[in-house]
Chain A
C-alpha cells in the first residue's frame, strides 16, 4: 500500500535550522503559526512583527514580510501597519519581558482599541536572550540570574497572567493560554492559533494566544526536566484555557 505524507514542515516556514537551543519551544510556536498561515492561504498578505528577544530572528524563518519593532512596541507598530493596510493580516510575536514588562502599555491599549491584529505571546518565565534574568512571569521561588535566591513576592511581586488580564477588555475577541510541552497540548495550541487568525480574518477584533514554553538553557534543566516543570509548577501558576472567544456574528 502506498504511503501518504501526513506530517511535514509548513510551506511558510523556511528550510533553515532554528538557532534556538535544544528543547526550546520557540520552534514549535513558529511552526504552528506557519501552519495556520498556510491553512488560511494568507502568506502573501501577512506581515509579522517580532519583538526583541530570541524571537526577533523570526524574519530568518518565516517566508513572509517582517518588520522589526523596538522592545515592547510591536503592538504599536502593528497598529500602524493595520491602519495603513486593513486587508493584510498583521501579527506580533513577543516574549514575556517584551510584552509583559516593557511593552505592557502598548499591548493593553492595542487590545483595548480592539485593533484587529493577533498577538502571539511566548511565556517561558525568563528573559532568554539577555541571559536568564527575572521576567514578569517568573514563578515564585524561581531562581534567575537576577533573583538568585528565588523570586520573592515581598520584593519582586507575583507572576503576571496576561491572558486573564487581557480577556475582560471589550476590544479583545479571543484570548487563550496554551502549552507546547506535550503533543496533545501542541494540538490544542494549533486550534488556538487557527482561531486567533480566524478572528482577525473575520475582522472581529484583537486576538491573543499565550504559549507556555520551556527555556532549558536559562532554567538550567534538561529538556526532559523542562516538561516536568511545565506540567507541574508552571501549569499551576498559569492555568491553560480559552479565556475569551467571541462568537461570530
Chain B
C-alpha cells in the first residue's frame, strides 16, 4: 500500500494537505496538540479508497513535512529525481 509520513510534531495545522488530498485521507487531529501548539494533520488510510501516492499533499505542504512512499510504478512524478546533467 502507498503511504505518507507526516512529521506531525512540526505541523502547523494549515490544512493545505487536507484541501488537496483527492482521497480525503488527511484530517486534523483534534485529540492532540503538538509541541508547536497546533492540532497537527493526521494520515488515515481508507482500504476502500487507498492512498494513491500522488504526493499532492507533500507538494503543497509549506513546511516540507510529508514524505511519500509508493509501490514502484513511475506513473506519478514527484520530487525525488537524479540530476540529468
Binding site for B on A (CB under 8 A): 1-10, 13, 17-18, 20-28, 30-31, 35, 39-41, 180, 182-183, 186-187, 190, 216, 223-224, 227
Q: Which residues of A contact B77 (CB under 8 A)?
A: 187
Q: Per DSSP, are chain B's interface residues mostly helix, strand or loop, or mixed?
A: loop
| B36 x A9 contact (CB < 8 A) | no
Bound-complex Cα distance A186 to B61 (A): 10
| A3 x B3 contact (CB < 8 A) | yes
Question: Among B16, B80, B83, which residue has the most Cβ atoms of chain A within 10 A?
Answer: B16
Q: Closest approach, in angstroms, between the C-beta of B3 and any C-beta of chain A? A: 7
Known: A10-B79, A40-B83, A41-B83. A23 touches B14 (CB 8 A): yes
Q: Closest approach, in angstroms, between the C-beta of A40 and any C-beta of chain B? A: 6
Select from chain B the residue with minimum beta-carbon distance to A18. Answer: B63
Q: Which residues of A contact B61 (CB under 8 A)?
A: 28
Binding site for A on B (CB under 8 A): 2-3, 10, 12-16, 19-20, 36, 38, 53, 55-56, 58-64, 66-72, 76-81, 83, 85
Q: Which residues of A contact B70 (CB under 8 A)?
A: 3-4, 6
